[in-house]
Structure 1
Amino acid sequence: MNRLYHVTLSPFCRKVRLTLAEKKIEVELIEERYWERSTEFLRRNPAGKVPILRMDGRVMAESQAICEFIEETCPTPPLMPRDPEARYEVRRLCAWFDDKFNDEVTRKVMGERVWKKVMKLGYPDSKTVKSGLGAIKYHLDYMGWLLDQRRWLAGDVMTLADFAAAAHLSCLDYISDVDWDRSANVKDWYAKIKSRPAFRSLLADQLPGLPPAPQYAELDF
């Protein structure tokens, strides 16, 4: 059985979960308390990060590398276009969300409101949370601008870029920190991707002691 060592509300783990589910690759989910840095965990990935995928005798780390490996070894249905320019755009947007969006929004909001509580690191810093919630407006506006010109974020077909964005936004939506009324385009895009079968396991996630927001699992939100 393939195994994915993950954390429930990690956008990087969620991106891999979405990719696996879209490709209909069965995987056993193993919750990994990576912050405890067990010897066994560090043996799997000395970088001390999740996700870690064990598949076909290989142990793989780094979400983007994992997703592209899955795409290359299981190309149906495709999540990367064939055209080099289109592939570049997918990779650019994956980096946008996994680097810029993560630094400016996810890490600040989720780090303060969720992971401090889980890791028992004290109370949220309101200034950091406010900064993250301010920054998300810019990103939603940028996504809205992209979706004015395209059916999906990177073009006219769904790609890994959409999964990267949805992975981050779904974590924030779990704690009700996305203003879906800011952009009708973004709300419609998220409703489309949220209704895919690949998304079902994410919508069933529950973090002990921190239940999801009421609209989190609702397809009509």
Structure 2
Amino acid sequence: MKLYGALASPYVARAIMLARIKGIDLPLEPAPGGSTHSPEYLAMSPIGKMPVLEADGRFLPESEVICEFLEETGGGKPGLPSDPHERATSRLIARIVDLYVAPQPRKFFQQMNPATRDQEEVDKAAAELDKAFGFLEFFMGAGPFCVGAEPTLGDCAAIPYVVLIQKSVFAAFPELPDPTQGDGRLGTWWKAVQSNDICRESAEEYAEVVENFMKAMRERLKG
């Protein structure tokens, strides 16, 4: 098996992290043709998004589907809890990330330039982000991870987006509170993430990618 994409994508990071947790060797390859819109890439998936998994000569797009495939076929350590309610909760956390957390950073990116910033739009975006984090806290299990004592699919979905928001939104808008640094449920969850070698190292790896992206964005704003 191999995964096509770039670690800059939080969805690629999700699949890679789950593979590491399960102990699966999943090489990451760049998009054939140099782009997700190249003829070579579109021949694998006309959706034109990353990642795409190649397994047994067949191709699967969409990170959530890829993660479920790895869970069902990859063996190794479980990436989902054995209890059906906890399995559903782990999947729910991933779903909340995709539907409610993932759309938020883009709203702040549009307000990165202080010279053209609309504070009313920033305030609206901050309220939506706070609501999305509230959904995560409400549905997370007893923990310390999103469900139970070990990282699962939900953690693999949440970690890249939390890192993205930490390194972009909270770095550019320091007046906004970061719930992962508090005493609430997201705070205890983040401590668990930092205590797990695979989760911490994956988060640090992704943080470096985001920091490089933000540095390039700041340079463009200066220009």
Asked if these proteins are the same fold (TM beyond 0.5), I'd say yes
In structure 1, what is the equivalent of residue 79 of structure 2? 79
Residue identity matched to 1:136? L
In structure 2, what is the equivalent of residue 206 of structure 1? 209
Q: Could you say if the C-alpha distance between residues 100 and 176 of structure 1 is closer, same or farther in structure 2, counting changes exceeding 3 Å? A: closer
User: What is the DSSP-based 3-state SS (H/G/I as helix, E as strand, rest coil) of the residue aligned with 2:102?
Assistant: helix
1:50: Cα distance to partner?
0.7
In structure 2, what is the equivalent of residue 137 of structure 1? 130
Identity of aligned residues (%): 24
1:17 aligns with 2:10: no
1:109: Cα distance to partner?
3.7
Residue identity matched to 1:206? V
1:164 aligns with 2:164: no
Q: Distance in 2 between matches of 1:149 and 1:82?
A: 15
Q: Could you say if the C-alpha distance between residues 187 and 86 of structure 1 is closer, same or farther in structure 2, counting changes exceeding 3 Å? A: closer
User: What is the DSSP-based 3-state SS (H/G/I as helix, E as strand, rest coil) of the residue aligned with 1:89?
Assistant: helix
Deviates more, 1:58-67 or 1:71-80: 71-80
Structure 2 unmatched runs, 5+: 171-176, 217-223
Measured on the aligned residues, the alpha-carbon RMSD in Å equals 3.3
1:16: Cα distance to partner?
0.5
User: What is the DSSP-based 3-state SS (H/G/I as helix, E as strand, rest coil) of the residue aligned with 1:54?
Assistant: strand
- Kindly tell me the number of residue pairs found equivalent between the two proteins: 201
TM-score using structure 2 length: 0.72
The answer to whether the 8 A contact 1:93-1:154 is kept is no
> Where does 1:109-188 land on structure 2 (aligned, <5 Å)?
109=108, 112=110, 130-146=123-139, 149-155=142-148, 157-175=150-168, 177=170, 179=178, 180-188=180-188
Q: Deviations 1:180-199 (Å, cap 9, x if unpaired)?
A: 33444312312322443323
Q: Distance in 1 between matches of 2:129 and 2:91?
A: 21
Q: Could you say if the C-alpha distance between residues 39 and 74 of structure 1 is closer, same or farther in structure 2, counting changes exceeding 3 Å? A: same
Q: Could you say if the C-alpha distance between residues 80 and 54 of structure 1 is closer, same or farther in structure 2, counting changes exceeding 3 Å? A: same
Q: Distance in 2 between matches of 1:209 and 1:101?
A: 19
1:93: Cα distance to partner?
2.1
Q: Distance in 1 between matches of 2:35 and 2:160?
A: 21
Q: Distance in 1 between matches of 2:125 and 2:135?
A: 16
Structure 1 unmatched runs, 5+: 115-122, 213-221
Q: Distance in 2 between matches of 1:125 and 1:52?
A: 37
Residue identity matched to 2:189? W
The answer to whether the 8 A contact 1:144-1:183 is kept is no
Deviates more, 1:38-47 or 1:186-195: 186-195
Q: Distance in 2 between matches of 1:35 and 1:109?
A: 26
Q: Which has the higher helix share?
A: 2
Q: Deviations 1:138-184 (Å, cap 9, x if unpaired)?
A: 23334344458443323454321121111211222232527133444
Residue identity matched to 2:12? C
In structure 1, what is the equivalent of residue 99 of structure 2? 99
